[in-house]
Structure 1
């Protein structure tokens, strides 16, 4: 658990700062507009797509459907031009582990956000959502990640590399949260 503790402690401030300015806060206070929701889905899609494809290169058993679920929601809202790409690279397993911490660790927040979507008047006409659905099943990837982390011992160097890449991954999300739909 030394790896998890290191990543959690070293990214705590960055994580909080990025969350502070995320559109998702408007879901939590029910003030979000439909166009803002579309943008939030798009921003998340771009970040998850960049990170997940790199993680899979070094963690062969890694399985996630976040990008697929975001694609479904975006397509249901008429957004199909998703060719924009953010630059993000993992160069080894330790970096993939750090990136996966951020990607899978987002599940709890996503579940809480999903529970509030249906309470937003401007989103009341949306069909059931695939990404922000509020279901506990969204935590499966995080639980698998924790099992994987508990099954291994990591060197100080691996912990350092993973922690650094977790920070980079939070910065990837920060970059994505500054995108506009017109960037596509």
Structure 2
């Protein structure tokens, strides 16, 4: 199953992202609004430079299977950027996906961040200093976060043949690398 292959082969990237964003501070309630601004700004840049490229590479068969219209998050994170008064920053890294399999790998990273983001939003909503924060991006699926993640993994596992796993992994690594180096 490609979802397990991706999980195993991107674990180091996932761990690096958690370290970059000081994720351990979220659970010991020492995560600050500045920490939150950093994670939102970085995710904003990732979505700004990847979302359209990912969706444009996916064929029509994925539109319904993955409910693609419900998975667009750029407009949601733009609301967070605006509410936090963050400034746009140019990036020098260029991001491109050469085929549909790479786009699916990149989408794995974004959907995974949504799954983790739901946990982050729930935790931070109970943390002092976050009572006025609206979690548009991290709370995007609300109570449907689990089912949306499950659907994504099921479609990925059903549609991606084993010989295409390296391409899917390449897309995930490209997006993780962009995310980790965009700061």
Q: TM-score, normalised by structure 2?
A: 0.81
Which one of 99, 102, 111 corresponds to residue 106 of structure 2? 99
- Unaligned runs of 5+ residues in structure 2 are none
Q: Which residue of 2 aligns with 1:164?
A: 170
Per-residue deviation at 1:140?
A: 5.2
Q: 1:154 to 1:136 in 2, by over 3 A?
A: same
Instruction: Name the SS for the 2:139 alignment partner.
Output: coil
Q: What per-residue deviation string (whole Å, max 9, x for no partner) do you get for residues 72-118 of structure 1?
A: 11112223x43634521101111111111111122221111111112
2:138, 2:158 → 1: CA distance? 30
Task: Indicate conservation of the 8 Å contact 2:77/2:136, yes or no.
Answer: yes
1:13 aligns with 2:12: yes
Cα distance change, pair 48–138 in 1 and its aligned pair in 2 (3 A) = farther
Matches of 1:74 and 1:11, distance apart in 2: 27
When normalised by structure 1's length, the TM-score is 0.81
Which position in structure 2 is the counterpart of 1:131? Answer: 137
1:7-51 deviation line (CA, Å, top 9, x unaligned):
222112232233123134332222122233222211111112222
Indicate the residue corresponding to 2:95 in structure 1.
Answer: 88
Partner Cα separation in structure 2 for residue 90 and residue 108 of structure 1: 23
Q: Return the alpha-carbon distance in structure 2 between the equivalents of residues 13 and 39 of structure 1.
A: 20
The aligned counterpart of 1:182 is: none
1:23–1:36 CA contact under 8 A, matched in 2: yes
Query: Does 2:149 align with 1:142?
Result: yes
Inter-CA distance 175–99: structure 2 relative to 1 (3 Å threshold): same
> Residues 34 and 169 of structure 1: is their aligned pair in 2 closer, same or farther, counting only changes over 3 Å?
same
Residues 1:34 and 1:13: Cα distance change in structure 2 (over 3 Å): closer
Q: Is 1:111–1:136's contact at 8 Å kept on the other side of the alignment?
A: no
Q: Unaligned stretches of 5+ in structure 1?
A: 180-184
Please say if residues 21 and 38 of structure 2, whose CA atoms lie closer than 8 Å, have aligned partners that are also in contact. no
Which residue number in structure 2 is paired with residue 49 of structure 1?
48
